[in-house]
């Protein structure tokens, strides 16, 4: 963009540039106009990109991050619930195992 501004200034003041060396005054004027239009469009693009960036930041802060947190929280809570259920199941099996072991000991004592 800076190069375009420099070329436009040179063409506007009548200085010779490599790209304008073999052009007529009308050609140089058209080239200068074309460069100025490109600069104008690039400046509009910069403003638009800044607007897009601002909207994207708002979306990320307002929608994406809360949604991400909610999904991760749900996943964590589901994992913890499953862990608790497995631990309860393991505890029940361990209790059953110790109860069976106790019964085996009692039978052994009766047989003595």
Domain boundaries, the chain: 2-111
Say how far apart CA 29 and CA 64 lie, in whole Å. 49
18 or 111, which is more confident: 111
Query: How far is 84 from 65, CA to CA, in rounded Å?
Result: 28
Rounded distance, CA 76 to CA 73, Å?
Answer: 5
pLDDT at residue 88, rounded to an integer = 97
Report yes or no: 23 and 51 within 8 Å, Cβ to Cβ. no
Confidence check: pLDDT of 102 > 70: yes
37-40-45-50 Cα dihedral, nearest 10 degrees: 180
Give the pLDDT score at 103.
95
Which pair of structure tokens corresponds to residue 60? Answer: 């990320």
pLDDT digits (tens, 9 = 90+) for 67-91: 999 999 999 999 999 999 999 999 9
Q: What's the CA angle centered on 7, arms 33 and 9, to 5 degrees?
A: 75
Residue 33 in this model has a pLDDT that exceeds 90: no
CA–CA dist 59, 66 (Å, integer): 10
pLDDT of res. 73: 97
Longest Cα–Cα distance of the chain, Å, equals: 123
Please give the pLDDT value at position 26. 72
For the question of whether the overall pTM of this predicted structure is more than 0.75, the answer is no
pLDDT of residue 34: 83
């Amino acid at each position: 963009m800076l190069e375009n501004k420099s070329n436009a200034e040179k063409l506007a003041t009548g200085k010779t540039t490599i790209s304008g060396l073999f052009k007529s005054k009308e050609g140089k004027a058209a080239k200068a106009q074309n460069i100025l239009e490109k600069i104008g469009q690039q400046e509009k693009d910069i403003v638009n990109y800044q607007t897009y960036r601002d909207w994207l930041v708002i979306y990320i802060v307002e929608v994406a991050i809360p949604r991400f947190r909610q999904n991760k929280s749900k996943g964590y809570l589901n994992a913890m619930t499953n862990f608790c259920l497995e631990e309860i199941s393991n505890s029940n099996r361990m209790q059953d195992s110790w109860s069976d072991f106790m019964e085996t000991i009692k039978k052994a004592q009766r047989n003595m």
